[in-house]
Amino acid sequence: MERKTKTNDWLKKFNLSHPLVIAGPCSAETEEQVLKIANQLKKTDVTVYRAGIWKPRTRPGNFEGVGSIGLKWLQRVKKETELLTATEVANKDHVKLALDHDIDVLWIGARSTVSPFIVQEIADSLNGTDKIVLVKNPVNPDLSLWLGAIERLQSANITRLGLIHRGFSSQGKSKYRNNPEWQIAIETKNKFPDIPIICDPSHISGRRDLIFDLSQMALDLNFDGLMIETHIDPDNAWSDAAQQVTPNRLIQIMKDLKMRNTTIEQKDYVNELDNLRTQIDIADQNLLQILGERMRISDSIGKLKKKNNVAVLQNKRWNEILGKMVLDGENHGLSEEFVLKLFKAIHQESINHQEKEIVK
């Protein structure tokens, strides 16, 4: 990975290179484990060492973290490796202990970002801090909760803020533990263009074999950094075993990742891109036109159903369409996930059109 010195606000102030790489175990387990991993990560592209001290577990009975003793281990990491340190905080007591132990980067976890009360408590206890505070997206795909958390921290005069995109839970079938929903991350970034955004491919994927591709995707989308869970013995980790990589694997990932130029001025490139973009614009116009035509047919079906007093939703027909479209989509190089999403949206709009006709 070729590295660039850029970038905005605190990344620059801390003289951190781009992209920022945060790595370390999901959970601090023992002093030996924490230091062993850290020693393998020093003098690499990793700048910040992460370790969860308090672990928010969705279900009780799992390992809930070693607690504040782990902060002392992180202090040793900082002293012995010169890595900055990071941990998750989920209430004002965590904040106080983390500040007392001079942790450099505090992050708010996905299960905390969903709760404005918790975010406010953390914001109040950090008021005016010059520590770096990173906010993970909420577990559910609710942009406002993510934006709201940033706004609460900004109102508490916290200026070194960052976003962490860790994907969103969903009930549907997916190869990811948490669906990336990249467009939500992009929208959030657009709302706060000066706040760096970091991708956490570990929690998006839930499995280590997908981490490289997700990391490359994040860099291709101009993310400012990566947070990758790294463990000396991933399979035997006390939490999130399936998604952690070894320090060696992480070093290889960082080596293989390609940094892209944000843009270039070269004439041939600009001409060809203009040409392709024109084709995209035409294709988009065609899509809208054909969707409009489809909805006008739905209007006619609505009128017909009204005349014959038939219900709008015909499940059997709908399932047939969906199955056929997934198969046809494959022939056009479209993923099942995309075809299902697209046709569910089209079907909903179609129902709305028919319903309008029926109640007329």
Return the residue of 19, 65, 70, 109 that touches ligand PEP, per CB under 6 A: 109
Asked if 225 touches ligand PEP (CB under 6 A), the answer is no
Give the 3-state secondary structure of residue 6. coil
Per the CB < 8 A criterion, the answer to whether 96 and 125 are in contact is: yes
Between the alpha carbon of residue 254 and those of residues 44, 150, 207, the distances in Å are 9, 29, 17
Minimum CB–partner distance for residue 119 and ligand PEP (Å): 13
Write the binding mask 5 to 44 for Mn ion: x where contact by CB under 5 A, - elsewhere.
---------------------x------------------
Minimum CB–partner distance for residue 26 and Mn ion (Å): 3
For Mn ion, the closer CB: 26 or 37: 26
Asked if 203 touches ligand PEP (CB under 6 A), the answer is yes
DSSP 128: T
Asked if 110 touches ligand PEP (CB under 6 A), the answer is yes
Asked if 86 touches Mn ion (CB under 5 A), the answer is no
Footprint of Mn ion on 202-241 (CB under 5 A): 240
Return the residue of 101, 166, 208, 231 that touches ligand PEP, per CB under 6 A: 166
Footprint of ligand PEP on 243-262 (CB under 6 A): none
Between the alpha carbon of residue 351 and those of residues 295, 297, 317, 325, 359, the distances in Å are 9, 12, 13, 18, 12
Strand partners, 230: 245
For Mn ion, the closer CB: 29 or 240: 240
Work out the angle between the directed axes of helices 247-256 and 211-220 (0-180°, nearest 10). Answer: 40
The item of Mn ion, ligand PEP, none sharing an interface with residue 198, based on CB under 5 to 8 Å by kind, is none
Letter for the amino acid at 263? T
Letter for the amino acid at 39? N
Measure the CA–CA gap between 85 and 71, rounded to whole angstroms: 9
For residue 241 the two structure tokens come to: 């075993």
Question: Where does this chain bind Mn ion (CB under 5 A)?
Answer: 26, 240
Question: Where does this chain bind ligand PEP (CB under 6 A)?
Answer: 26, 52, 56, 109-111, 136, 166, 203
